[in-house]
């Protein structure tokens, strides 16, 4: 099983600019089977309630919650350690304020269905917006074969990696390619995709 690796093609303080470029990059690929995933850390109750109203299908988890085991079973009275659907998340300010920040995850959303609303919410927070299953085309003159499994685009908001563990200023757009031992080959693919959208690779590979 192989992995993917991302190459940065833009760093900007403008989240709308990052989204516009990401959409141009996505359009380079075969989008017939494309899906969108998103993750965000929500530090405030109003953030959580806004996200819940926009995406009742999303999952909300409390990653800072205490993990307690009894007789081999996980005790999770809030439900938030294991994850709660937005539609089932209580909108009680007092209860939510005791379980912050919450991580919200959107899985396998249709292309074009969540991006604008997510960027508006994500701009000040640690978050990522991710398009996958795009299908980079074959480019025979560069020795590049068609690749669907690793054709992806990501916008990282205020963080340098998809782990969402460190805060930095600005937003980064990544082009993902197959992770191999041949960095020249990886860079050739990422550079070709970037050039189709009018940009260039501006840094080394970003993993996990």
Summarised one tens digit per residue, pLDDT across range 49-103 is 999 999 999 999 887 654 444 555 544 556 666 678 999 887 777 778 878 889 9
Grade residue 183 by pLDDT with cuts at 50, 70 and 90: confident
Q: What is the pLDDT of residues 6-20, one digit of tens each?
A: 999 999 999 999 999
Instruction: Round to whole Å and give the CA distance between 170 and 12.
Output: 5
The pTM for the full model equals 0.91
Beta strands 84-85 and 4-12 are: unpaired
Residue 160 has pLDDT above 60, yes or no: yes
């Amino acid at each position: 099983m192989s992995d993917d690796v991302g190459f940065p093609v833009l760093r900007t303080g403008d989240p709308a600019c990052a989204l516009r470029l990401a959409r141009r990059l996505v359009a380079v690929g075969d989008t017939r089977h494309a899906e969108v995933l998103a993750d965000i850390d929500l530090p405030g109750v109003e953030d959580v309630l806004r996200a819940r109203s926009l995406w009742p299908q999303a999952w909300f988890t409390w990653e800072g919650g205490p993990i307690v085991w009894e007789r081999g079973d996980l005790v999770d009275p809030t439900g938030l350690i294991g994850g709660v659907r937005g539609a089932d998340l209580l909108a009680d300010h007092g209860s939510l304020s005791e379980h912050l920040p919450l991580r919200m995850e959107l899985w396998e959303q249709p292309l074009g269905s969540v991006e604008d609303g997510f960027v508006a919410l994500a701009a000040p927070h640690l978050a990522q917006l991710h398009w996958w299953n795009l299908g980079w085309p074959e480019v025979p003159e560069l020795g590049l074969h068609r690749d669907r499994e690793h054709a992806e685009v990501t916008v990282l908001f205020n963080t340098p990696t998809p782990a969402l563990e460190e805060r930095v200023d600005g937003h980064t757009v990544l082009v993902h390619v197959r992770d191999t031992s041949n960095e020249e080959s990886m860079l050739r693919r990422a550079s070709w995709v970037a050039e189709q959208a009018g940009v260039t690779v501006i840094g080394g590979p970003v993993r996990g």
